[in-house]
Chains A and B, each alone.
Chain A
Amino acid sequence: MAFVSIFKNRTGIEKEIDSFLDLASESGLIFDQGVDSFLNNNLERFTDHLNHIVETEKEADNLRRSIEDLLYRKTLIPESRGDVLELIERMDALLGRFKGMMFRFEIERPNIEPRFHDGLRELVNCVIHAVEAATLSLRAYFKDISQATDHIHKVAFWETEADKTSSKLQKEIFAAEDLGLDVKMQIRDLVRSTDKIADQAEDMADSLAIYVIKRSL
């Protein structure tokens, strides 16, 4: 009976971690669609995406709590438990960042000139790729550790791309003579905050790289 119960716990937590990572991946896509709707001035669609990301984040929070509870209550993976919890929490923080950015768009309603749209879309694309690679690396950490390093490299690549795009975009913003400093600073802050998501994804990937070495046989 004890073995059956252990087996059930393992299957349960595997499914929960999978679902959690699905939500992390999904939240990036919702963010992408949300920003796109905002830039296209489709505020109704934007609000739908905002509601969707709020729901996703809430669901992810519940899963995170359940994973933490299972890990500690059933003393699963005692050697890597602390590392796994940290990674899950960092991933949850990324989800929170996406939601936070969507709320900033909703609250501030910034007037972003169409000339900056492509740059912003490109930045969002880099950020989403970075988070997606981080999600894949975390998935590999659980399922096939030898693949984790490949995805970690991709996180670093997309973070660098995000930095380049962000710098270029900020230069363009401040080069625009027809905009007031207040507008420039507001858009600059949005750009920086978006870029910050890629930075956080990279921080998580750096920690993961250490944990991969720790777990390597």
Chain B
Amino acid sequence: MFLFFLSSGLFLGWSLGANDAANVFGTAVGTRMLRFRTAAALCCVFVILGSVISGAGASGTLGKLGAVNAVAGAFVVAFAAALSVYLMIRARYPASTSQAIVGAIVGWNLFSGTPTDPAALIKIVSTWVICPIMSGVIAVISYKILSFAIKRSKINMFKLDEATRIGLILVGAFGSFSLGANNIANVVGVFLPVSPFKEIILPGGFHVSPAQQLFFLGSLAISVGVITYSKRIMGTVGKGIFKLSPVMALVAVWAQSVVLFLFASQRLEQLLLNAGLPTLPLVPVSSSQAIVGAVVGMGLLKGGHNIHWKTVGGIAAGWVTTPAVACLISFVCLFFLQNVFQQTVFLP
């Protein structure tokens, strides 16, 4: 029965794979520097690794926003988020899974009468603003450094092309790892409190926690989304907002990957804590916002003349509508599941 309810989480994972893989490899595929097949294969492998190895960090914050305590409720929350992302994809806009899940959890909170933790909500919503700005700033600085290095090194056009391709593969792998680590909480995070999995001890003494098993299943769903549906979104990111050169594409993915990593890494948080420095909240952030921030940042650096503001506006509008739509769908579906199908969607 749990696996049946988990299907909505897997559907959300599929949506995330279809949508967010485009953010990691879209610029590379859009600028024809990498083949879709290569990009998809790399993305799948590293998303799974990122989810299983580093997925725990960001799921804690999401749990604080609303601990969905009934499996049918978790099913609806994930389903509402997935449906809203799917609708955005159908409209050909890179949507944010993070915002969809937050909207859906708030919908569950409203329905169940659970108060939404304002601190957690503010923490999450503030990353919606910080994330694209931070990504834009990282992109501009990285681009400046990289272009200076390229000019100084007087590299041959073909060698630069080769180096850019290798860079896109490496940064794309890092981006996929960060995406898995940061966004797996969106996919199956709501199922963590109701997960029936037990710890498995593999030969060699490796412990696979219940959370890691859940993350593995979620990441498989993401991979299916990458393979089956991400190709068409990749075109929008690579060309839609601002015509990127291959070097810019590399920087955009780099900036996005760094941002996702910063908001997901528990080790980095520990390092900062040990050094007495302020830490970044471990929150699932939107890879869509990060990539759009990076692309717009570089577009502005180039004078801002060639940015298609209409496309940016459409994407930004999606950021507002996605959580609102997810919240509404979540509320309505919870009502139906409780009153029509007689399921327990929350425990008082």
Q: Are B150 and A10 in contact (CB under 8 A)?
A: no
Give 12 pairs: A residue, B residue, CB < 8 Å, sorted on A. Answer: A10-B159, A10-B162, A13-B158, A14-B156, A14-B159, A75-B32, A76-B158, A79-B32, A143-B157, A215-B157, A215-B245, A217-B151
* Known A3-B166, A143-B156, A217-B247; contact A77-B151, beta-carbon cutoff 8 A: no
Q: Are B32's CB and A217's CB within 8 A?
A: no
Q: Are B31 and A79 within 8 A (Cβ)?
A: yes
Contact assessment for A142 and B165 in the assembled complex, using a CB-CB cutoff below 8 Å: no
Contact B32 A144 (CB under 8 A): no
Neighbouring A residues of B245 by C-beta, 8 Å:
79, 215, 217
How distant is the Cα of A3 from the Cα of B165 in the complex, in angstroms? Answer: 10
- CB of A141 within 8 Å of the partner chain: yes
Do residues B165 and A6 form an inter-chain contact, with CB atoms below 8 A? yes
Interface residues of A in 1-54 (CB under 8 A from B): 3, 6-7, 10, 13-14
Query: Do B156 and A217 have beta carbons less than 8 Å apart?
Result: no
User: Does A114 count as interface, using CB distance less than 8 angstroms?
Assistant: no
Q: For residue A141, which residue of chain B has the nearest CB? A: B157
Interface residues of B in 7-32 (CB under 8 A from A): 31-32
B residues in contact (CB < 8 Å) with A: 31-33, 147, 150-151, 154, 156-159, 161-162, 165-166, 245-247
Cα distance A215–B247 when bound, in Å?
A: 10
Whether B32 pairs with A78 at a CB distance below 8 angstroms is yes
- In the complex, which of the residues A10, A76, A215 has the most CB atoms of chain B within 10 Å of its own CB atom? A10
Q: Which residues of B contact A7 (CB under 8 A)?
A: 162
- Which of these, B31, B147, B161, B246, contacts A10 with CB under 8 Å? B161
* Neighbour of A77 across the interface among B147, B154, B157, CB < 8 A: B157
Q: From residue 36 to 85 of chain A, which have CB atoms closer than 8 A to chain B? A: 75-80
Between A and B, how many residue pairs show CB distances below 8 Å? Answer: 45
Chain B residues whose CB sits within 8 angstroms of the CB of A14 once the complex forms: 156, 158-159
Instruction: Type the 1/0 row for A71-102, where 1 means its CB is closer than 8 Å to any CB of B.
Output: 00001111110000000000000000000000
Given A78-B32, A79-B246, A144-B154, list of 7 further CB < 8 A pairs? A3-B166, A10-B161, A77-B158, A79-B31, A145-B157, A146-B151, A217-B151
Chain A 198-217 interface mask (CB, 8 Å, partner B; 1/0): 00000000000000000101
Contact with B along A131-147 (1 / 0, CB 8 A): 00000000001111110
Which single residue of chain B is at the shortest CB-CB distance from A3?
B166
Which residues of chain A (106-161) have a CB below 8 Å from chain B?
141-146
The SS class assigned to the B binding surface is helix
| Residues of chain A with a CB closer than 8 A to B151's CB | 146, 217
A10 to B161, CA, bound (A): 9
| Distance in angstroms between the alpha carbons of A6 and B247 in the assembled complex | 18
Inter-subunit contact B158/A10 (CB<8 Å): yes
Do B32 and A142 have beta carbons less than 8 Å apart? Answer: no
Q: Which residues of B contact A75 (CB under 8 A)?
A: 32
How far in angstroms is the closest Cβ of chain A from B217?
Answer: 31
- In the complex, which residue of chain B has the Cβ closest to the Cβ of A17? B158
Q: Roughly how many angstroms separate A14 CA and B158 CA in the complex, as a whole number?
A: 7
A142-B247 contact, Cβ under 8 Å, with A76-B161, A217-B150: no
In the complex, residue of chain A having the shortest beta-carbon distance to the beta carbon of B162: A10
A188 to chain B, nearest CB (A): 42
Complex interface: chain B residues within 8 A of A80 (CB): 157
A6 near B162: Cβ-Cβ < 8 Å: yes
In the assembled complex, the Cα of A144 lies from the Cα of B161 at a distance in Å of 14
Chain B residue numbers with a CB within 8 Å of A145 are 157
A143–B153 alpha-carbon span in the complex (Å)? 10
Which A residues are CB-close (under 8 A) to B147?
217
Residues of B close to A215: CB separation below 8 A: 157, 245
**Residues in chain A near residue B246, CB distance under 8 A:** 78-79
**Chain A nearest Cβ from B220, distance in angstroms:** 26
B31 and A78 contact, CB distance less than 8 A: yes
State A120–B140 Cα separation when bound (angstroms): 55
CA distance A145 to B159 in the complex (A): 13
**Contact residues in A for B159 (Cβ distance below 8 Å):** 10, 14
Q: Are the C-beta atoms of B156 and A142 separated by less than 8 Å?
A: yes
A142–B33 CB distance below 8 A? no
**Across the A-B interface, the 10 shortest Cβ-Cβ residue pairs:** A217-B147, A78-B32, A144-B154, A10-B158, A77-B161, A142-B157, A10-B162, A14-B158, A143-B156, A6-B162
